[in-house]
Structures are given as structure tokens and as C-alpha cells.
Amino acid sequence: AQSVTQPDIHITVSEGASLELRCNYSYGATPYLFWYVQSPGQGLQLLLKYFSGDTLVQGIKGFEAEFKRSQSSFNLRKPSVHWSDAAEYFCAVGGRGGSEKLVFGKGTKLTVNP
């Protein structure tokens, strides 16, 4: 069964600084990988996804993520954080065995200081 670990519960960065949120997964083959963002009081919105091909994927709002098979990681990055990026971020993994279920990490809360 697949699993996801987000090692950082809470990260604080200054506006304009770069950001990297970590995600490690466990799965026996190449998984499907997702990053979602949840603004306070809202549902989850998809930022980006990896299915196959280019290991660097671009998403919405200037985010990107890189799939590294050797490290079982799918870290989310943004070169310059805006105050509106303050939210909670969830990494999720889906298996290729035909199941439609996703397994979510416990989330990383991002605080942006002015």
C-alpha cells in the first residue's frame, strides 16, 4: 500500500523568499503524484500532478515540483513566495493498480511573513 510523508508540519518564510515543501512517498512502482493547496476555510485545489514523462512539472500559481525516483520524493517549489500563498499544502499519491484512491500526507502549513 502506498503512503506519503510530509516531514514539515509548519514552515514560515518571508514574502519574496524561495520555498521548498518536502514530500516523500512509499510505493512499489512509479506512482501518480499530486500537490493540493487548501486556503483557510476552503476545499482543496489541485496545484500540479505527475503521471509520467518529464520529472519537472509546472503547476498553477507559479509552483513546480520535481519527481525524484531515487529519493522517492516529489518536492514542491516556488522561487518567490507571495503573501497569498499562505495556506496548507498536501501531497498525495495514487497507485497504478487500477485503484482510484489517493493517499494524502498530513499537510504542511505555510505562513508568509511580510
Partner 1 sequence: NAGVTQTPKFRVLKTGQSMTLLCAQDMNHEYMYWYRQDPGMGLRLIHYSVGEGTTAKGEVPDGYNVSRLKKQNFLLGLESAAPSQTSVYFCASSPGGVPVEQFFGPGTRLTVL
Does the protein bind partner 1 through residue 96 (CB under 8 A)? yes
Does position 99 bind partner 1 by CB under 8 A?
yes
| Of 80, 84, 101, 111, the one binding partner 1 by CB under 8 A | 101
* 42 scored as a contact of partner 1 (CB under 8 A): yes
Q: Which residues contact 108 (CB under 8 A, 6 or more apart)?
A: 6, 8, 9, 10, 11, 21, 22, 88, 89, 90
Task: Output phi, psi for 9, to 5 deg.
Answer: -75, -40
The correct pick among 12, 18, 45, 84 for binding partner 1 (CB under 8 A) is 45
Closest CB to partner 1 among residues 3, 80: 3
DSSP, res 40: T
Out of 27, 67, 81, 94, the only residue in the binding site for partner 1 (CB under 8 A) is 94
Which residue in this structure is represented by grid cell 516529489?
74
| DSSP helix/strand/coil, 22 | coil
Which spans of this chain sit near partner 1 (rule: CB under 8 A)?
A: 9, 32, 34, 36, 41-46, 49, 51, 90, 94-96, 99-102, 104-107
